[in-house]
Structure 1
Amino acid sequence: MDNFKHWKESQQKQQLAVFNTDSSALLWLKIKSILRKELLSKFLSLYHIDLKHTTLSLQFEELFNLLEQDIPKSHAMLDSFIKQISYKQIKDSNQEQLISELYKLNYFQWGGDYQNSLDKYLISKYVKVKQPSYQELLSKFDTEINTTVQNYVLSSWYNHWSSILIENIFKQHPIVLPTIGQIKNVDFIINNIPFDLKVTYFPNEYMKQKRKEIGLPSELTFLKNKAAELGIFFDKKAKPATIQYEIIEKLKDRNDTSSIAILKQLEKERLSVIAQAQLNPKLLIQWLYENQGEMRFGAENRLFLILVDTDDFENSWKLKRNINILQPAIHQYLDSFSKKETHSLKIEFTYKNNIQKYTALADCIFIVK
């Protein structure tokens, strides 16, 4: 069997389970991690390796075939080189300055819809309209479109750089081998298991599903009913998220016994669902795989970082820059990772109407403030 071709096809077809158990496949993945001209040149120079080919794709195959002759030694060489480069990259970056920049964002609001696809949102809302009007479209730029685009860019900027910050926390731990070059669906390798890191919040739809299972109405229905009981007016024509925000804020502002009791009940119910997810995270992990967006579908191994601010769920996004809570929680998880059995990380799931069953290794870390 041509291993190089086999591992390449396996990655392209998202048949990723082989990379969890085969040392040759993992070797292929590590070499791919350094497959940038300047990185590969440094590696070859460091270990006095001469290659006949000059194009990266052919060098990749040639180097793999060469290193596969002594897999344990080759893994040691690659691990040492990758960690040296990663250490230098992190050292050269100004982490304190990055955190300072992230703290300058004082609100987080996606501009768009359709799972945050800005182009589809703009076309649907402003281009494919019933009555086209050029002048009306122009007028929307100052009142709506510019703000929508700005919010989208700011939120995307925050997500990107806060993710870099979080990835660097993982990469500094001794059991983590970073990917110093981009590899699709792999951010780092933990104890020879490649993982894609997914930073997210506790899903509203999962919360809704779990409330229904235990006989509770949705949060929105609960709040609407309580608002009616207390005579609190809210805009019934607004979007659900806006209605929920309005009622919660009005309950906070009233600050009377009844309002406080409602907010405490809502918080208690939320914390109960979250506590159950922490006790049995596989159900949440499976839900996250099965409810991912079509454009971003993947069956790769995933490590989910679930952020929850129990004081203010809507501000959980702020935890992405809170290194004081992120770093100890992530390192505590990694310190005990070697005690985990691989089979305990196994997740099986299906996706929408597809009869195919997918298998991956996955886990989650809860960051709860």
Structure 2
Amino acid sequence: MTKKDFAYWKKLHDGDDLTEFNTNSTGQLWLKIKSITRKELLSEFTARLCLNLTSTTLSGQFEELFCLLETNSSQSHQQLDAYIREKNLQQLQELDQEALVSELYKLKTFEWGGDYQNSLDKYLVSHYVKVISSYEVLISKFETEINRAVQGYVLNSWYNHWSSILIEHLFKAHSSVLPAVGQIKSVDFFIQNLPFDLKVTYFPSEYLRLKRREKELPVELTFLKQKARELSVNFDKSAKSSEIYYEITEKLKDRNDELSLGVLDQIRSQNLTIVGEAQQNSKNLIKWLYENQGEMRFGSENRLFLVLIDTADFSSSWKLKRNLDLLAPAINSFLNSFSSKPTSDLTVNFCYSGKSQTFTALSDVIFVVK
């Protein structure tokens, strides 16, 4: 039998094999120690316990402290929890929540300004650097395209970063949550010693399309084009799909007659039925989210999904990231009732394209609906 020492837990963590951490107190202790493995934190924590570490490197001190603390795991958990909660309280007090929310409300539109998926630099290289040989043409693109792409990328990334910090603090302020003080790969916080990675997302458009197809409902854009022709609503047929969708829906809203609004209401009603079914049986959505994650960011760790939905306009769901009136009650309600959830309700099994094994994780979803 393999000895479950420091190297054992390190190998599991480095290999993204986190399942055993869910049920093993020593593994959870390893994660908590890793969360304070920063020079100033380790120094402060060990000084409080009157421990003298002889190792001179952080990695060495991490292993040395683990070996010392695992001899009395129960007491060590209590000591670590108390220290981590103290540091978390300091961090919470340093954040001016109201001021941050006010800053986030200054962003009026959420447009990336390009069709890149993961990397702005790859987008710029593939669309401009390697395509345009003329210096003058390239310079002209700064006025019409490149500045807009860069500005959109920076503004949206800024909004996502600071709204994520705001949301994480809502979780970390709850008494049942023990945060990872320092960053740990695949762990944002613990709920009743279970490690979770928080994922803030919107109701996935691809999942919506899948469920519409399963219900034999028409593709939204196809349906809108058909209805536009029936109602004599002109649109630019050469535009991008997203632009055609926007043009038709806006023109139908502007006409504001019974037939036009009925088209939009029909799509909205169908989509809200799918959302309602996902809320009633969230495991289907969770499984889909795991199985359709990006290859570069693949992970099988425990995940807590915060799904934001503006039922009046799905494309405006990004605004809910700063809406504390909706976020806080939904998050606190979930955390208040978490202790009553059996592990079987959290367990999800999923497969991933290109990988032979079946993965198992603990996961749940919080729906924030406007």
TM-score normalised by structure 1 residue count: 0.98
> Which residue in 1 is equivalent to 2:355?
354
Distance, in Å, in 2 between the alignment partners of 1:49 and 1:235 is 72
Distance, in Å, in 1 between the alignment partners of 2:113 and 2:33 is 39
- Mapping of residues 165-244 of structure 1, within 5 Å: 165-244=166-245
Offset of residue 95 of structure 1: 0.9
**Matched residue of 1:52: which SS?**
coil
> Which residue in 2 is equivalent to 1:89?
91
State the Cα deviation string for residues 264-315 of structure 1 (Å, max 9, x = none): 1111111100000001111111111111111111111100000001122111
Distance, in Å, in 1 between the alignment partners of 2:246 and 2:165 is 30
**Matched residue of 1:287: which SS?**
helix
State the Cα deviation string for residues 136-191 of structure 1 (Å, max 9, x = none): 01110111101100100100010010000000000011110001100011100011
Offset of residue 115 of structure 1: 2.0
Contact 1:346–1:361 (Cα < 8 Å) also in 2: yes
State the Cα deviation string for residues 336-365 of structure 1 (Å, max 9, x = none): 000101121111111113222111111100
Determine which of 71, 74, 83 is the counterpart of 2:73.
71
Structure 1 stretches of 4+ with a deviation exceeding 6 A read: none
Determine if the alignment matches structure 1 residue 287 to structure 2 residue 288. yes
Name the stretch that deviates more: 156-165 or 347-356: 347-356
Offset of residue 112 of structure 1: 3.4
Amino acid at match of 2:25: S
Distance, in Å, in 2 between the alignment partners of 1:282 and 1:91 is 36
**Matched residue of 1:289: which SS?**
helix
State the Cα deviation string for residues 49-69 of structure 1 (Å, max 9, x = none): 111112111000000000000
> Which residue in 2 is equivalent to 1:163?
164
> Which residue in 1 is equivalent to 2:126?
124
Amino acid at match of 2:83: F
**Matched residue of 1:215: which SS?**
coil
Offset of residue 2 of structure 1: 5.1
State the Cα deviation string for residues 189-247 of structure 1 (Å, max 9, x = none): 01111000000000111000000101101111111111111111112222211111111
Can you give the 5+ residue segments of structure 1 that lack an aligned partner in the other structure? none
The alpha-carbon distance between structure 1 residues 25 and 73, as it changes in their structure 2 partners (threshold 3 A), is: same
Can you give the 5+ residue segments of structure 2 that lack an aligned partner in the other structure? none
Distance, in Å, in 2 between the alignment partners of 1:39 and 1:78 is 11
**Matched residue of 2:234: which SS?**
coil
Contact 1:53–1:59 (Cα < 8 Å) also in 2: yes
> Which residue in 1 is equivalent to 2:278?
277
Name the stretch that deviates more: 286-295 or 345-354: 345-354
Distance, in Å, in 1 between the alignment partners of 2:218 and 2:313 is 21
**Matched residue of 1:235: which SS?**
coil
Offset of residue 128 of structure 1: 2.5
Determine which of 31, 34, 39 is the counterpart of 1:32.
34
Distance, in Å, in 2 between the alignment partners of 1:23 and 1:111 is 47
Distance, in Å, in 1 between the alignment partners of 2:185 and 2:235 is 46
Offset of residue 116 of structure 1: 3.5
> Which residue in 1 is equivalent to 2:309?
308
> Which residue in 1 is equivalent to 2:57?
55
Distance, in Å, in 1 between the alignment partners of 2:252 and 2:118 is 30
**Matched residue of 1:105: which SS?**
coil
Q: Percent identity over the alignment? A: 60
Distance, in Å, in 2 between the alignment partners of 1:80 and 1:136 is 61
Name the stretch that deviates more: 42-51 or 299-308: 42-51
Determine if the alignment matches structure 1 residue 105 to structure 2 residue 97. no
Amino acid at match of 1:106: K
Amino acid at match of 2:179: P
The alpha-carbon distance between structure 1 residues 238 and 16, as it changes in their structure 2 partners (threshold 3 A), is: same
> Which residue in 1 is equivalent to 2:17?
15
Distance, in Å, in 2 between the alignment partners of 1:342 and 1:306 is 21
Distance, in Å, in 1 between the alignment partners of 2:274 and 2:358 is 27
**Matched residue of 1:35: which SS?**
coil
Distance, in Å, in 1 between the alignment partners of 2:271 and 2:220 is 9
Distance, in Å, in 2 between the alignment partners of 1:242 and 1:303 is 33
- Mapping of residues 123-162 of structure 1, within 5 Å: 123-129=125-131, 132-162=133-163
Distance, in Å, in 2 between the alignment partners of 1:51 and 1:116 is 42
Alignment RMSD (CA, Å): 1.1
Name the stretch that deviates more: 170-179 or 38-47: 38-47
How many residues of Structure 1 are paired with residues of Structure 2 in the alignment? 368
**Matched residue of 1:336: which SS?**
helix
Amino acid at match of 1:68: E
Amino acid at match of 1:297: F
Distance, in Å, in 2 between the alignment partners of 1:329 and 1:245 is 31
Offset of residue 79 of structure 1: 0.5
**Matched residue of 2:26: which SS?**
helix
